[in-house]
Amino acid sequence: MPKTLNQDQLKAYREEAGQLRNEFQTILDLGESDNRQLTDEETARLEAIENRVAEIKTTLANSARLEAISGGLDHGTPQNIGRDGDLITSGGDEVPRDLHRTGPLRAFTGEGAEQNAYRAGMFLLAVLSGSDTARTYCADRGISLRNQAGGTNSLGGVLVPTELATAIIDLREAYGIFRQEARIWPMASDMTILPRRTGGVTAYFVGENTAATASDKTWDGVELTARKLQALVKYPSELAEDAVIALAEDLANEIAYAMALKEDQCGFVGDGTSTYGGIVGVVNAVEAGSIKGAATGNDSFETLDLADFEGAVGKLPEYAEGNAKWYISKAGYWASMARLMNAAGGNTTETLADGTRQKMFLGYPVITSQVMNSTLGTDASAPKAIIGDLRQGATVGDRRGFTLATSEHNDFESDQIAIRGNQRFDINVHERGTGTAAGALVLVKSAA
């Protein structure tokens, strides 16, 4: 039968949970530092720790419920006040009226946006500050606070609730150009090889009583290897319950933006170094046949001419025409493409004032990405723009969704809590062309 715990008991349970979490992380770190899989004994110990921590959390949550029934949570703090000034019932999902947030929600959208932000915020409050109110709220609504870890979503970290995960994923796709435009492939294991057609069957003319010449369809593989990407956010440990919506909104925005920015950098300009997780992006992946060098003297955005861009379009294979787009920085667009269109004439006050239309150039949509080269002035032999079908030219492999882990140890003196979000993915730019023929993506480079 559940019972209300006194302060000494609460302290003992929390200290035990902290020690178990430290042991859990030590085992994980040992396996990672040795670059090996965990042994059966280590895996069994992790499962035992996970089960014990879950028991402790259940005990604490049950105690909090009993305390709430007998007169209030968190040592006399009243439950959250609803929109009409009444206490929220145990199973209710009303959102308190007086919650601090900095403006309209962006991470949480659509029907029930504020409610989803509140649920995500209460989850974060429970995980970060250990608030009994927030823990009870999560327990009553089936929001799991169990630890998770590893590549199979079965151990260590904290599994993100649906509301927060959806907000982060939606924002990542809204912020990230590369993920929006490339092909997405779910990865069932840490390494996945996708079959790719490299050649087809050939038809031959034959005479009477003459055997047909055999030909084969040929294939190779596109390899995806999961790479771990992490983002770290720090918050003060004194998290107020009336700021949970702002907390969820801020965390979703920060992590989603960081992940999307890094994905764009890897996909467009990655050079294969550790900065980009070993990923080689479009501007460094394409072969000579997929590069259109600008005419002599055209060594900047300001000096590129129509022939430079038209030459790139001419190189693009027919199979990449259907979904072809330009990818260029904002600064580069206005200094080159927009300049050339304005110089062509035909503008009116209305067309110059209208900023709502999709940017177009030479009949193709223009997508601006700030990770692309934005250097103005002389910039010889530099990548300036890409045209092609990114969905055919590159694949983003998704191995695992988001997980969160927290720690207060690294920032003990400043009384801050660190939140680490991570995902596992890969990017392969596979339609690179050859030394003489273009692939699905063509790069425009300034003159030497």
Domain harbouring 324, CATH code: 3.30.2400.10
Q: Is residue 110 situated within a structural domain?
A: no
Q: Is residue 419 situated within a structural domain?
A: yes
For residue 218, what are the CA distances in angstroms to 104, 215, 318?
54, 9, 21
Structural domain including 284 reads 160-198+218-448
For residues 267 and 429, give the distance between their C-alpha atoms in angstroms, rounded to a whole number: 8
Q: Is residue 29 situated within a structural domain?
A: no
Distance of CA 22 to the CA centre of its chain: 28
The encoded tokens of residue 307 equal 């022939």
Q: Is residue 272 situated within a structural domain?
A: yes
Residue with tokens 């250097």: 375
Distance of CA 263 to the CA centre of its chain: 7
Q: How confident is the model at residue 20 (pLDDT cuts 50, 70, 90)?
A: confident
More confident residue, 143 or 395: 395
Q: Is residue 447 situated within a structural domain?
A: yes
Q: Is residue 246 situated within a structural domain?
A: yes
Name which of 137, 129, 159, 143 is nearest 247 in CA terms: 129
CA torsion angle 297 299 303 304 (round to 10)? 100
More confident residue, 423 or 110: 423
Name which of 198, 287, 240, 214 is nearest 77 in CA terms: 240
Mean pLDDT of 408-430: 74
84-95 tens-digit pLDDT = 333 333 334 566
CB 129 within 8 A of CB 105: no
Mean pLDDT of 383-404: 88
Mean pLDDT of 366-392: 96
Mean pLDDT of 353-365: 83
Count the neighbouring beta carbons within 10 Å of the beta carbon of residue 323: 14
158, amino acid identity: V
The reported pTM is: 0.67
Q: Does residue 2 have a pLDDT over 70?
A: no
Q: What local confidence, expressed as pLDDT, does residue 200 receive? A: 63
Q: Does residue 229 have a pLDDT over 70?
A: yes
Q: Does residue 12 have a pLDDT over 50?
A: yes
Q: What local confidence, expressed as pLDDT, does residue 114 receive? A: 78
Count the neighbouring beta carbons within 10 Å of the beta carbon of residue 313: 19
226 φ/ψ angles, rounded to the nearest 5 degrees:
-60, 130
Q: Is residue 392 situated within a structural domain?
A: yes
The count of structural domains within the chain is 1
245-271 tens-digit pLDDT = 777 777 788 888 888 899 999 999 999
Q: Does residue 82 have a pLDDT over 90?
A: no
Q: Is residue 57 situated within a structural domain?
A: no
